């Protein structure tokens, strides 16, 4: 079976469309509601979903995602439970799932075992946030061995040599940060976004998707015009915090206009 991420981008290219990628924290606010949130994103038309593993020391995350991780951990979420959530989602959906995680939970679970079990559960890719690039090729052989795509992060201040190395080693799609800083920080995408995307494309034919600071349909449309996909995270997670009584419904309402804005954009991608 072809990897779902690869298949999704093949279909998007064939229909001249850009991808909408949603990020949520697994287990926020609890297992059952988290599954409903995943289904709400799926029903709204998200092309790919990033599922964050809750971790007690998420250094790259802003306060919104930190609080989401705290809520998930308090609800009893563990790495094993995240994989159960993936299996539960797979019962009704083939939408690609990317596990977005720090190294600590992966090492605690067991590096090889994590990738094996993630693939068996139905995950399609892994983004290891704090994996040093110099260690990536050796460490990530486990992901490739189980058919998981290895997603890379590239920031605006990534040196050209390292950008070339990361882009060349990327699979599935490249997560390009629209600006520096932690997730959920103030400010929209950088005005130099198009130049950054083109710089990355010179080193890779893998789709370039942009995230960080995207929270409105206007911003989503602007980013979609420059990149192959749009990634929205903290703005979605914030809906869970703001609407504790009905988070799945709130998430669905929030993402629909963003997804619609991305779907309206046409143009050649990678």
C-alpha angle with apex 38: 1 to 75, nearest 5 degrees?
A: 120
**Does 50 participate in catalysis according to the annotation?**
yes
Token code pair at residue 103: 């190294």
Q: How far is C-alpha 256 from the geometric centre of its chain's CA atoms? A: 17
Q: How far apart are CA 51 and CA 156, in angstroms?
A: 24
Q: What is the 3-state secondary structure (H, E, C) of 52-93?
A: ECCCCCCCCCCHHHHHHHHHHHHCCCCHHHHHHHHHHHHCCC
Catalytic residue among 28, 42, 47, 50: 50
Tally of residues, the chain: 270
Let me know if 90 is exposed, middle or buried by CB neighbors in 10 A (0-12, 13-18, 19+): middle
User: Sign of the CA dihedral 161, 49, 270, 119?
Assistant: positive
Residue 59 makes CB contacts below 8 A (sequence gap 6+) with 102, 130
166 close to 158: Cβ distance less than 8 angstroms? yes
Catalytic residue among 61, 117, 124, 171: 61
Q: How far apart are CA 130 and CA 124, in angstroms?
A: 19
Residue 224 makes CB contacts below 8 A (sequence gap 6+) with 18, 230, 261, 262, 265
**Does 61 participate in catalysis according to the annotation?**
yes
Let me know if 241 is exposed, middle or buried by CB neighbors in 10 A (0-12, 13-18, 19+): middle
Residues belonging to the active site: 50, 61
């Amino acid at each position: 079976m072809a990897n779902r991420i690869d298949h999704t981008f093949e279909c998007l290219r064939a229909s001249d469309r850009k991808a909408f990628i949603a990020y949520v924290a697994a287990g926020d606010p609890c297992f059952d509601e988290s599954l409903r949130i995943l289904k709400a994103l799926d029903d709204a038309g998200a092309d790919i979903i990033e599922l964050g593993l809750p971790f007690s020391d998420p250094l790259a995350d802003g306060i919104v995602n930190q609080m989401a991780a705290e809520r998930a951990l308090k609800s009893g979420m563990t790495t094993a439970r995240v994989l159960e959530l993936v299996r539960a989602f797979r019962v009704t959906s083939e939408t690609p799932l990317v596990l977005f995680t720090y190294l600590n939970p992966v090492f605690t679970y067991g590096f090889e075992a994590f990738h094996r079990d993630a693939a068996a559960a139905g995950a399609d890719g892994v983004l290891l946030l704090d994996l040093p690039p110099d260690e990536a090729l050796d460490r990530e052989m486990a992901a490739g061995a189980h058919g998981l795509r290895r997603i890379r992060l590239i920031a605006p201040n990534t040196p050209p040599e390292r950008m070339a190395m990361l882009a060349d080693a990327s699979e599935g799609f490249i997560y390009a940060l629209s600006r520096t800083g932690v997730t959920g920080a103030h400010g929209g995408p950088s005005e130099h976004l198009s130049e950054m995307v083109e710089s990355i494309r010179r080193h890779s034919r893998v789709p370039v998707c942009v995230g960080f600071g995207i929270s409105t349909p206007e911003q989503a449309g602007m980013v979609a015009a420059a990149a192959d996909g749009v990634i929205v995270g903290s703005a979605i997670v914030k809906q869970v915090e703001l609407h504790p009584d009905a988070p799945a419904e709130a998430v669905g309402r929030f993402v629909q206009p963003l997804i619609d804005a991305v779907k309206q954009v046409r143009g050649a991608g990678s």
